[in-house]
């Protein structure tokens, strides 16, 4: 197994257990460690879809956020919603929350997605980058499957300043819940290198919400 496969295997094992306690534990960590605002977070993703769209949601997890922000039952502009995640246990939970016939579920790795180039006009990825083994590879794949004038909205959890919060994050990385620490500089470089431009960005606590479009060289 190469390094990415080893990290993905560790993630699958960890999320198989974590799925039982999700989303409660995730929400507590979101408020206490990253000081985010879940209502603004959800609104940011709700505003993503304002015209008829074929949507890909990456790292759907247990589907709580996806169902609240993007579900076809509540947003008539969602023509189809494909939910991709590497954890079978998380996808089982997501299927119970996203029951529309317009939703399909794909068990797979963001680093090699089984979709054709330009297949989706809208991509969402809530909190996925913190758990991916190779973010440049993941963002490159997202750029590949995004249509020419499509848009991507994502959220990422930055490394907080306070030492006790940092210690928790280093522990979660060691345990396999996350794969790396993320700073704003690292994020900006990843985004530019993957052929994206930032079209909207906001930070609440240590949570960054961003919208990306293909940079002109990639159109």
Ligand X SMILES: C[S@@+](CC[C@H](N)C(=O)[O-])C[C@H]1O[C@@H](n2cnc3c(N)ncnc32)[C@H](O)[C@@H]1O
Residues forming contacts to ligand X in the complex (CB under 6 A) are: 8, 11, 15, 23, 26, 59-61, 64-65, 84-87, 90, 109-111, 126-128, 131-132
Cα 75 to Cα 134, 152, 175, 217: the distances in Å are: 32, 17, 37, 32
Distance CA 133, CA 4 (A): 5
Min CB(161)–ligand X separation in Å = 21
Of 49 and 90, nearer to ligand X (C-beta) is 90
Residue 111: which of 90, 92, 93, 84 has the closest Cα? Answer: 84
3-state SS class at 99: coil
Of 172 and 218, nearer to ligand X (C-beta) is 172
Min CB(217)–ligand X separation in Å = 26
Min CB(173)–ligand X separation in Å = 13
Of 128 and 150, nearer to ligand X (C-beta) is 128
H/E element holding 164? helix 163-175
Of 149 and 202, nearer to ligand X (C-beta) is 202
Residue 146: which of 69, 68, 58 has the closest Cα? Answer: 58
Tokens representing residue 6 in the block = 């080893």
Residue 66: which of 51, 89, 85, 86 has the closest Cα? Answer: 85
Of 55 and 86, nearer to ligand X (C-beta) is 86
Min CB(49)–ligand X separation in Å = 16
Which residue minimizes CB distance to ligand X? Answer: 61
Min CB(191)–ligand X separation in Å = 18
Min CB(197)–ligand X separation in Å = 23
Of 136 and 215, nearer to ligand X (C-beta) is 136
Cα 201 to Cα 157, 172, 196: the distances in Å are: 13, 26, 13
Residue 45: which of 151, 119, 169, 164 has the closest Cα? Answer: 151
């Amino acid at each position: 197994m190469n390094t990415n496969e080893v990290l993905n295997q560790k993630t699958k094992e960890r999320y198989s257990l974590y799925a039982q306690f999700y989303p409660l534990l995730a929400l507590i960590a979101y408020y206490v460690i990253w000081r985010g605002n879940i209502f603004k977070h959800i609104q940011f993703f709700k505003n993503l879809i304002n015209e008829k769209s074929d949507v890909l949601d990456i790292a759907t997890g247990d589907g709580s956020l996806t169902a609240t922000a993007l579900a076809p039952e509540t947003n008539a502009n969602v023509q189809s919603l494909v939910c991709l995640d590497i954890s079978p246990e998380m996808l089982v939970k997501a299927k119970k929350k996203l029951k529309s016939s317009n939703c399909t579920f794909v068990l797979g790795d963001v680093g090699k997605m089984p979709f054709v180039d330009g297949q989706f006009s809208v991509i969402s990825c809530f909190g996925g980058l913190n758990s991916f083994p190779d973010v440049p590879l993941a963002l490159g794949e997202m750029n590949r499957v995004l249509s020419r004038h499509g848009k991507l909205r994502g959220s990422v959890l930055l490394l907080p300043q306070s030492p006790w919060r940092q210690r928790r994050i280093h522990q979660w990385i060691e345990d396999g819940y996350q794969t790396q620490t993320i700073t704003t500089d690292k994020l900006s470089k990843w985004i530019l290198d993957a052929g994206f431009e930032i079209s909207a960005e906001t930070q609440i606590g240590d949570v960054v919400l961003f919208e990306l479009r293909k940079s002109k060289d990639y159109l």
